Structure 1
Amino acid sequence: MASVQTGLSRKLLTRVLSVYFFLTFIVTVGQIFTEYMSTKSHIESELQTLKNTFSTSLTRAIWEVNLPQARSIAEGLMELPIITGVQIRDENGEYIADLGVTIAQARAPITSGELEDHNGGLFSYGFPLIFEFSNRSSTVGDVTLYSNFDIIFGRIEIGIFFLIGNAIVKTAFLVFLFMTAFRRMLSDPLMEITQQMSAFNPERPEESKVFLHLEDENELRLLQYSYNQVIDDLIVSQQQLHKTQSELQRVNKKLDDQNLLLEQEVAKKTASLSQIMLDLERQKDELIVNQRELRQENENRQYVENVLREKNSELAKSMENLKLAQEQLLESERMASLGGLVAGIAHDVNTPLGVGVTAASFLNERLGEIRQDYDNNSLTNKTMASFLDEAEQTTNLLLTNLNRASELITSFKQVAVDQTSEAERVFNLKTYLREIMLSLAPSFKHKQHDVSINCPDELYIRSAPGVIAQIVTNMIMNSLIHGFEHQTVGKITIDVSQDKDDVVMVYEDNGCGIPANQLKQLFEAFFTTKRSQGGSGLGTHIMYNLVTQALDGNIEAFSEPGKGLRYEIRFPART
């Protein structure tokens, strides 16, 4: 009889196990992927939670330009198990800290919380640092926290091994079960029936019956019955007796096989349950350790929050004191400017008053001589004519100097009152600029500087004149002190024009100019190149605040070394 190369049971077993292996692989991969995505989502949630913990202290450190503290916070973040990289940038996109595994970012600042995946299993969460001051929000920088696939794998490693091990155990058990079942239920019965049918002896049919060891009724059983039915037609009661004995033997063997299989199954289940109990006990110990660590971390976090709350209170008090000190410094600078104006005006008024006193004394003396000649009847027409000429010249000189003194005092009074008051009124800008220049005339007395004012005659504005006077005074004094420090002949030009509803004032001198690195700090408080000579560094800062706050305008400065300094000021006319 020809042998079969590939049995029917082997083909069937191969196909069934192939389907089972494929389904098991798909389910296991799906479970691992679900565990990975769940753990990744949890880590991303933890990264977002870190924003609430560290953003306030980082924002305060960057706002106060406390870069060492910001880097220290970044190093503290790197100590967290889920963090593999930290990037901290300022509002200009410059890196303050770049630690661990990170990637280069675009220079544009981050405006909202962003989760982003990167190559190599790296992902990040970035958020802006917003500082709130005086009911205004200002973005001072941003933070990007990085984590990667290794962190996720470290958390789900045990679960993955458990899933794979579980799949392997189930697969091995089912393979064994299928192979045993196919062998007992299909392969062995087919082989047995084939062998028995091959050994058929027509002369002794009672020895040629087919006896299969099957656990249930199936097609093989029907085949056996059919074949034996044919044999039954040829045998007698003796063959029936043999058949009964064979059935009893088959039943006993079946019971023994079932008992053996049951004992093996119980042993396998017991071993599996023992392993599961050991795993559960180990996980319980790990959970207890994690709970203790979490409790300690919460206590540390509460302590840090209390310390930060106290520091914030101290910083608020320091800001109030600093603001009060700044207001006092601004008022002192304004009064110092007014004091210098008073000294110059007093000196300049003294000259015409002295000339007036001298002229009046001379006229009084000549009048005494004329009266004496008149009383002695020695007064001549020539003497009288000479007296009248001298009296006319003296009175003209007296009136000229008194008018000069009156103009100086009137101009000084108007400018001084305006500088000490912030009241608004409508005034002619060109006339007021000339009054300011008249009050500043003593500052130009010993120098040959030329000041040119180009302003429309009918330009009226509504503003606080003292603000205009303070701005113009500061610009001119800066030119005299800094721009014309080493030159006696200079030129100052003030061009004023009206652009729709705005007034545009361009102030320019031909002094020594300012280097680019100093021009960037020109309007900063306490910046001065004359600190050793008593400079306060508040002149341009006051001027900037007056333009932007009091006039609701803007100011820009342009300069190059050796090419002078130019201010461009724009503010609403509000006529």
Structure 2
Amino acid sequence: MTKVKTGLSRKLLTRVLSVYFILTLIVTFGQILTEYLNAKNHIESELQTLKNTFSTSLTRAIWELNTPQAVSIAEGLMELPIVEGVQIRDENGKYIADIGRTNKQALEPVTTGVMKDHPGGTFGYSFPLIFEFSGRTSNVGDVTLYSSIGIIFSRIEVGIFFLIGNAIIKTAFLVFLFLNAFRQMLTEPLSELTQQISEFDVDRPESSKLHVHIDDDNELKLLQSSYNELIDDLIDYKRRLKLTQDELTDANRKLDDQNIFLEQEVAKKTASLSKIMLDLEQQKDELIVKQRELRQENENRQYIEDELRKRNTELAESMQTLQLAKDQLVESERMASLGGLVAGIAHDVNTPLGVGVTAASFLQERLRNLHQAFEDKKLTSKTMTAFLSEAEQTTTLLLSNLNRASDLVSSFKQVAVDQTSEAERDVDLKVYVNEVVQSLAPNFKKTDHSIDIDCPDDLVIRCAPGVIAQIFTNMIMNSLIHGFEGMSQGKINIVIKAEDDTLHISYKDNGKGLSENDLQRHFDAFFTTKRGKGGSGLGTHIMYNLVTQTLGGQIEANSEPGKGLSYDITFPLRAV
């Protein structure tokens, strides 16, 4: 019998123990990692707690320019076990104190408390120093407290040793238990079964049955029973094989008789087959005629397909021409919108500029009179006081109107550039929507219409701003031209909010609304209720394409006659 190089029980034991060792290593490492993270969280919490302990005294010391006291506080913090480094900077980013293990900080001042990991195994908590005076707050500097991984390991050192020792003891006990169990339950019974099976005698199968003492009713006992049943089946097979051989000899004799009968039948069938072959030859000639007719029909069909292919090519070229014309019309609509914006802004800027020119002329005249009085030595205190009062009023008027003109031009410039550019940038949505509304203000100048915007502060998204400007411009101008026609006091409500990485825009006016038939065609290209009155029918179509294609979102319009028109717009936010 060939000896097995590696026993089944040893392989099974090796795999079981390997899996257990791997799981033990993973669990132990996970427990150590958990201890490490818990200890790090506790230290970070302690660093944040230190802010409440000394931030007030340190803020006052920096405010009073008491640098020695600030350095003394920093040295006191270094005495704490969890602190390995302290950095104190003033509002200009200049270091007042830099003690222990620290890292170079960014020049920008710290505005909020932040926990940050640093190279070299350190991490720190940075927070600003805010001084309150007369109801006002002022940032006088910032502080960074450093700790390290070494401090964390010093806290969890005993726990790590306990976890490793516990894992080693459990592993050793389990190895001993598995070795003993595998030897008694698997290795010894398998060896005995193998020995008896190797002594199998083909000529005497009755004496080759297995006789192994197995206490448990397990797979090995089942294997022994199955093997013994196989021996019984083999004995029965040999008996039946002898009977079958006798039956086969008798069948061969009968087969010879049957062959003679079959030869006679074949001769009869051959004559019949010859007649069938003549019939098949005639059918073949008829099939050749049918094939010729089918080939002619295929050639006709091929000609028709070629003609259809030519017509499809011509139709595709016509569709490309129509798409190009449509794109040109869309671009013309955008330029027309921008042209209307330019005209409105130019008219609105003329008023503050005219007031500014008048104020400057008046101030020039008063300066000339003052200079003349000075030359003629007639300058009195009363004259000087009157001049100063008039000059103050004039400059105030001049600055307010110039600032107003500057705001109008700035809003127009930003919105106009965005409408003609597809470049993406970070956009503060509330500020930008207000700029778009301000650029459209000349269109509402002679009306009592109002626009209410509800948008969270500091809602920053990344997109092409021209898309946002075009969408809001089209919605607002659509309300002004169509919805508020014949109305004296129209109202527009805009609500913007972000939920679950999705931006929601709700737009609603109290205009005259749309009928159900017009609402169904609202986003169709070239559909307008102002046909022949300057309406192109592309405004809402452009808006629909910008939302669904450029922003990858959805837009839905709802309206009833006399109840205004509303838009619900959603599109996914992109990371800033």
Q: TM-score, normalised by structure 2?
A: 0.49
User: If you compute each CA radius of gyration, which structure gives the higher value, 1 or 2?
Assistant: 1
Q: TM-score, normalised by structure 1?
A: 0.49
